[in-house]
Structure formats: structure tokens, C-alpha cells
Chain A
Amino acid sequence: SYVVTQPPSVSVAPGQTARIPCGGSDIGSKSVHWYYQRPGQAPVLVVYDGGDRPSGIPERFSGSSSGDTATLTISRVEAGDEANFYCQVWDYGTFHPVVFGGGTKLTVL
């Protein structure tokens, strides 16, 4: 099945820009969704189809994808953004169509 990789952690100072990568073979041609999750809570969708945001998600969250890397970008990072972030690929037509990355812990310094 399709494999998606994320770095275990990313650190950024408040007010700076965080970029969280998600790697996979030709991931730029696939649909990629991003979720954040705080401890003890269910995941929350923050970006879908590469770069769209659900209602209620700030414009500071954006996504892009090209080649073998998809990226979640969080601008003007706030302390409240500290969470685990997961990318998910929709690998349509396969026996394992929902594929999650291992998750990245965003630490706000």
C-alpha cells in the first residue's frame, strides 16, 4: 500500500512560519488532507484537497503539494497551534485508500 512519511517533530518560534512536510511517491498527483490533534481529543480537519480550508479554520493554515512532497504551512504561529499534525492521502482505487502519515508534533518554542 501507499506509504506516507512525516518528520516526528517541527519546532518554530511564535510569530514565525511552520512548514510540515508529508512525503510520498508522486504525492502531488493525489488528494492530501491535513488534521491537527491535541492530546485526548479527536482529530480536526484543517486543510483538504491540498489547499482548501473547512469553515472556521484560520487563513494562517494553508497547504501545497508538488512532486513527492505535500506541505502544511502555518503562518504567524501561535502557542495554541501546538499539536500533532497528520497528513492523509486518498489513494483511490486501492485496497488501502485511506493512508495516514505518522504524524508531526509541532512545538511552539
Chain B
Amino acid sequence: QVHLVQSGAEVKKPGTSVKISCKASGYTFLRYYIVWVRQAPGQGLEWMGMMNPRAGSLSFAEKFEGRMTMATDPSTSTAHMELRSLTSADTATYYCSRPTGGTFRLEFWGQGSHVTVSS
């Protein structure tokens, strides 16, 4: 069965960067996109971006373009997301998700990685 296991919680200072990993198992890693979604405390879900591991193509939400990097390591079936120039507004739980089908239903989710940005 499909599993996505994310890295643990992080506490970061404003202006620094955070890198989150998402290790996939139970499917052929290169065949499916990885989508990143975040959720600020008490708020809704926010799409950040997605990556096609096979083609290397990337798509970012406009607000994260230039500040976010996505990469994959097919040798370990792991996706990485780095967010730079952190502010308190980036305090959130970050999820990786694997979509299914041509309409990108987000069928599988990691457990979430909580990031706290505080001075």
C-alpha cells in the first residue's frame, strides 16, 4: 500500500530556511506527481506546488515562486521541499500528497510536518 512518511517537526528563526522530506513507498515513485500543501494553525488547506518526478517539471503557486524549491531523489523515492526567507506567517503544518488520476485527486497524504517560525 502507498505510504508517504515525512520528516519531523522543525523550529526555525525568521529569515532562515526549512527543508522537509517526504519518503514514498508502495508505488512506482517516478509515475506520480508529488503535491505540497500547507495548513496554518486554525486555517484551511493551501496548495503550494507540485513536481513531476519523471520529467522534473515544477509548478508553483504564485505566492511561493522564488522562495520555494522542490526536488526528488528517485534513488530513495524521496521528495524534498525547501522554503526560504521564513517569517512567522510560514508557521504551519506542511503536507506532501500523491495525486491519483487525471483530475489530481489527492488520495494519499503524508502525516504532516509542523514548522514553527519564531525568534
Whether a CB of chain A sits under 8 angstroms from the CB of B75 is no
Of B47, B101, B107, B111, the residue contacting A98 (CB under 8 A) is B47
Q: B61 contacts which chain A residues (CB < 8 A)?
A: 96
CB pair A95–B109 under 8 Å, yes or no, is no
Find B44's partner among A49, A86, A92 (CB 8 Å cutoff).
A86
Which of chain B's residues have a CB closer than 8 A to the CB of A33?
103, 105-106
What 1/0 flags go to B62-95 for Cβ under 8 Å of A?
Answer: 1000000000000000000000000000000001
- Interface on B for A, CB 8 Å cutoff? 35, 37, 44-47, 50, 59, 61-62, 95, 101, 103-107, 109-112
Q: List residues of A whose CB falls within 8 A of some B CB.
A: 1, 31, 33, 35, 37, 42-45, 48-49, 54, 84, 86, 88, 90, 92, 95-103
